[in-house]
Structure 1
Amino acid sequence: MSHFRSSALATATAASLCLVLAACSGSTGTGGDTAASPSTKGKATLEFWSWTEGVEAQVKVWNKEHPETQVKFVNAAGDTVYQKLRAAVNAGTAPCLSKMDGMNLANFAADGLLTDITKVAAPYKGKYTPAAWNAVSPGGTTFGIPMGSSPLFTAYRADLFQKYGIEAPKTWDDVIAAGKKAQKENKNVKIFNMAGEDPSTLVDLSWQAGAQWYKADGDRWVVDFTSPEALKAGDVVQQLVDDNLASSASYADPGVFKTWDLGKTIMMTTSTWQLPIYDTNFPKSKGKWQLADAPLFDTAQPRTSSSFDTTGVLKGCKYPDRAAEFAAWLSSSKESLTTLTDPASKSGLFPAVKDVSPYVDKIIPTEMFNGKSDSAEVITTAASRVGDQWQYGPNYAAMYSEMQKQWGKVMKGELKVKDMLASLQKWTVDDLNGKGINAVAGS
């Protein structure tokens, strides 16, 4: 994510936010257009880019029921969609709405490419979890509406856990202990997988431990990769590496599923969108899996992590109030969610709303699991435990790319996790300050 750009604004609130997001420049808006007016009149057509299966059909439902606000759906699937969106905003031809992950929404807000919809979005805030709303409100200003979430929980080979005399881990310390015990029974088995190209394990564990890598604080960003919580997460990763407890199957390898299907790796943290994938790709181990809550750092304060899909409102949108209304209907109305969360829609969507209970049962591939735990309860619990302290900072995407470069060395034992975290903290602070954004190290 590149830097937040914004201009000097008239109100004190906007001016204060401007200081948080960037050294103010001459562009319009706070990380984008100024706060949207509460309502627009007359008929309107909104262009909407998305690449989620099933969404186009829901757009047609919306259009039948809302003749005053018509939505034009554009299938924007492709690896270059974000580049195309940037070009469209700069050319003045951007859609009103687009699907975005949380990281890219913050990125676009940073570059002044979104519309501040804080006022018009306020009526919908209560429908979603606090963590989901954080994902559309980098720095405290709202630029979109949550679409879907991916809360993490555990899937494990119950048959092999029983064989090796271990139980589903309740904490990350339990994961380490279970991995060691399993290897005493079978030296070739691994408890977990950490791909050399994918540092998401460290992100998830840091989130779960209560770390805040980025925090908006008054007129500055506090960057803290070396807090006690972050180092606690890093220590778990380090133990997995040092004790050779984790496999290193690459997610770019088409055969990656074999490490779990053949029992070479016996546990994973997973999420709702992945369940249909396992049902298809675990033919030998079908029916031998069981779900459990994600391992915890603090049993008194259970917390897990999630990624989020959002619907961003682009700079130049003439009807931000209508855009927010449609986006909220798409991702929170029972009418829309009942269809989109059905596996038949192939959307892979799991809601970001507060009450997910109506949408859980049908996403569970029952033949995949042994029926000895309440899978629906595990998933519902995970959705309620996503830590709401996590924020995507102004250069998160660029930081993540830097972390990927160093992560491979960590997996090879050439770099300690704590040293990587210290390096990333300095890199992130220097990068932000170099872009005119006030940032300080937190630890």
Structure 2
Amino acid sequence: MSQFRARALAPVAAAASLSLLLAACGGGDAESDSATKATKGKVTLEFWSWTDGIEAQTKVWNKAHPDTQVKFVNPAGETAYQKLRAAVNAGTAPCLSKMDGMNLANFAADGLLTDVTKVAAPYKDKYTAAAWNAVSPGGTTFGIPMGSSPLFTAYRADLFEKYGIEAPKTWDDLITAGQKAQKENKKVKIFNMAGEDPSTLVDLSWEAGAQWYKVEGDHWVVDFTSPEALKAGDIVQRLVDNDLASNASYADPGVFRTWDLGTTIAMTTSTWQLPIYDTNFPKSKGKWQLADSPVFDTAAPRTSSNFDVLAVLKGCEYPDRAAEFASWLSSGEESLTTLTDPASKSGLFPAVPDVSPYVDKIIPTGMFNGRSDSAKVITDAASRVGDQWQYGPNYAAMYSEMQKQWGKVMKKELTVAEMLKSLEKWTVDDLNGKGVKAVAAG
């Protein structure tokens, strides 16, 4: 869970998957000739991104690739998605744009992206299966993975020792540790769950092996009430019922104090958050330690991740060149060596199978007590991201609905099981209302 923020179909069914499974209202962008044919000659393609360090890498590419020149545009992050939608509708969209996996699924469903399944296929093996899922909702590929943020744990080792607890290996262990710590200090919390941020439930569901969205035949199956999803929900419910979690808002600049002062003693965290420690945890520097994220099954450990992606927009005339550049940017050794360096300020962590060359330099060693192998924790997390998870065509809208109900869960006005049942019905009704065939797993 981001504590400071807010499967493929058979090839013959690919075209059908776009129209039947993703198309909302006007439908998706049918596969064009340009999406399957090799572009010849010199071209210039426009690329939008609001990530630090990317423009400099674009210049490196342009020097080495005179036939594919990339025009970099920074559209400003907060309004970028609105600008992208307007540009597609006006026929002035860039060929390529940064976005997250959730928005890629949403843009694809609204017919704003180009099917690049064929031209992207040569690059598939450069990324993890979970990352490729993020650019292939419904089995149709609309872009290239950019970065990942696999989950692991950071905890106050000094306070764990004081309260006689160890880093939890399972989520049940986390509950037990929280209860034991409170016997020593009734004011301490083991975890934090903000009232506006249901990412805890998303991550636990992913880690438990749940599949909220999946494709079967010509329709989506929506399943928020599977045994795996309910298992994740039960952990959240126990954290709430036993008052084991603080509720510091991630919108509050003072949120860091709950960990720095030791009132909350553990968190799940990720790579892009590590630099935050040095500047925001001054009192607890050197008292932290990293550990694997708690799991549901120690024999088959699974974690979760958010993904940044590079999406090919509707109307792109050179999707093959766009995919080639995107793959170089997000998997090329030269590019990754630069972008994963904290000096670039990109915050990028690769979505490639072997992350080991890029781990050591992102670890703020002064923050940790040196009693665990931080690099191994991060590398293991990257290899354990569950590849069953898929973003559905209305995931962004569903998440907004979940946010509304999550606050009631935190206030004990609604149970997690009730919320999951409600979300399942809401999601199915919303999809069918948009012309996307969907059924509840029931």
TM-score bracket relative to the smaller structure = over 0.9
Return the alpha-carbon distance in structure 2 between the equivalents of residues 102 and 243 of structure 1: 34
- Aligned residue in 2 for 1:186: 185
1:438 deviation in Å? 1.1
Within 5 Å, give how 1:60-209 maps onto structure 2: 60-209=59-208
Task: Please tell me whether the aligned partners of residues 22 and 28 of structure 2 are also in contact (alpha carbons under 8 angstroms).
Answer: no
1:411: Cα distance to partner? 0.2
Shift of residue 33, structure 1, vs aligned partner: 5.2
Matches within 5 A, 1:32-431: 36-431=35-430
Mapped to 1, the partners of 2:344 and 2:181 lie a distance apart of 40
How many Å apart are 1:332 and its aligned residue? 0.2
Q: 1:148 & 1:27 partners in 2: Cα distance?
A: 28
- Summarize the Cα distance change of 1:27–1:294 in structure 2 as closer, same or farther, 3 Å threshold: closer
Match of 1:308, SS state, is strand
CA positional deviation for 1:38: 3.5
Displacement of 1:22 in angstroms is 4.7
Give, in whole Å, the separation in 1 of the partners of 2:27 and 2:413.
44
Q: Distance in 2 between matches of 1:24 and 1:259?
A: 43
- Matched residues in 1 for 2:273 and 2:35: separation? 37
Q: Give, in angstroms, the shift of residue 431 of structure 1.
A: 0.8
| Structure 1 residues 319 and 367, CA gap change in structure 2 (3 angstroms) | same
Count of matched residue pairs: 432
- Aligned-residue Cα RMSD (Å) equals 1.4
Task: Report if aligned partners of 2:24, 2:111 keep a CA contact under 8 Å in 1.
Answer: no
Match of 1:5 in 2: none
Could you tell me how far 1:20 is from its partner in structure 2? 4.0
Greater alpha carbon shift after TM alignment, 396-405 vs 11-20: 11-20
Structure 1 distance, partners of 2:400, 2:336, is 34
Structure 1: runs of 5+ lacking an equivalent? 1-10
Counterpart contact for 2:23–2:109, Cα < 8 Å: no
**How far apart, CA to CA, are the structure 1 residues paired with 2:425 and 2:28?**
31
Alpha-carbon separation, structure 1, partners of 2:333 and 2:168 = 35
Distance 2:34 2:273 in 1: 37
Mapped contact 2:18–2:28 kept (Cα < 8 A): no
Q: Measure the CA separation in 2 of the matches of 1:28 and 1:293.
A: 40
How far, CA to CA, are the matches of 1:219 and 1:151 in structure 2?
31
Q: 1:195 to 1:26 in 2, by over 3 A?
A: closer
Q: Distance in 1 between matches of 2:149 and 2:29?
A: 31
Percent identity, aligned pairs only, is 82
- Counterpart contact for 2:222–2:441, Cα < 8 Å: yes
Cα 1:28–1:217, aligned 2, differ >3 Å: closer, same or farther? closer
Q: Secondary structure at the match of 1:257?
A: helix
Instruction: Give the CA deviation at 1:404.
Output: 0.4
Aligned-partner Cα distance in 2 for 1:24–1:230: 26
Give the Å deviation of 1:308. 0.2
Q: Which amino acid aligns with 1:412?
A: K
Map Cα deviations across residues 239-267 of structure 1 (whole Å, 9 max, x no partner): 00000000000000010000000000000
**Letter matched to residue 343 of structure 1:** P
Q: Is the 8 A contact 2:233 2:417 kept in 1?
A: yes
Verify the 8 A CA contact 2:27 2:109 in the aligned structure 1: no
TM-score (norm 2): 0.96
* Counterpart contact for 1:34–1:115, Cα < 8 Å: no
2: CA distance, partners of 1:84 / 1:166: 49
Q: 2-side partners of 1:225 and 1:24: how far apart?
A: 21
Q: 1:24 Cα deviation (Å)?
A: 8.4
Aligned counterpart, 2:17: 17
Aligned counterparts of 2:343 and 2:355: Cα–Cα separation in 1: 18
2:17 is matched by which residue type in structure 1? L
> Could you tell me how far apart the structure 2 residues matched to 1:22 and 1:332 are?
28
Instruction: Specify the code of the residue in structure 2 equivalent to 1:59.
Output: T
Q: Which amino acid aligns with 2:162?
A: K
- 1:301 positional shift: 1.1
Name the SS of the counterpart of 1:420 in structure 2: helix
Aligned to 1:8: none
Conserved? CA contact 1:150–1:272, under 8 Å:
yes
CA distance in 1, matches of 2:23, 2:315: 22
State the Cα distance separating 1:29 from its structure 2 match. Answer: 3.0
Moved more, 348-357 or 74-83: 74-83
**AA aligned opposite 1:424:** L
SS at match of 2:164: coil
Deviation at 1:25, TM superposition (A): 7.2
Residues of 2 paired with 1:141 and 1:22: CA distance? 9
**Which stretches of structure 1, 4 residues or more, deviate above 2 A after TM superposition?**
11-16, 22-30, 32-35
Question: What is the CA-CA distance between 1:77 and the residue it aligns to?
Answer: 1.7
1:433 equivalent in structure 2:
432
Residues 134-164 of structure 1 deviation map (CA, whole Å, 9 limit, x = unaligned): 0000000000000000000000000000000
CA distance, structure 1, for counterparts of residue 34 and residue 14 of structure 2: 9
Amino acid at match of 1:117: V
Indicate how the Cα distance of structure 1 residues 54 and 288 shifts in structure 2: closer, same or farther if over 3 A, else same: same
- AA aligned opposite 1:216: V
What code does the residue aligned with 2:346 have? S
Task: For residue 437 of structure 1, give the secondary structure of its aligned residue in structure 2.
Answer: coil
Give how far 1:181 is off.
0.1
Measure the CA separation in 2 of the matches of 1:240 and 1:26.
43
CA distance in 2, matches of 1:23, 1:136: 16
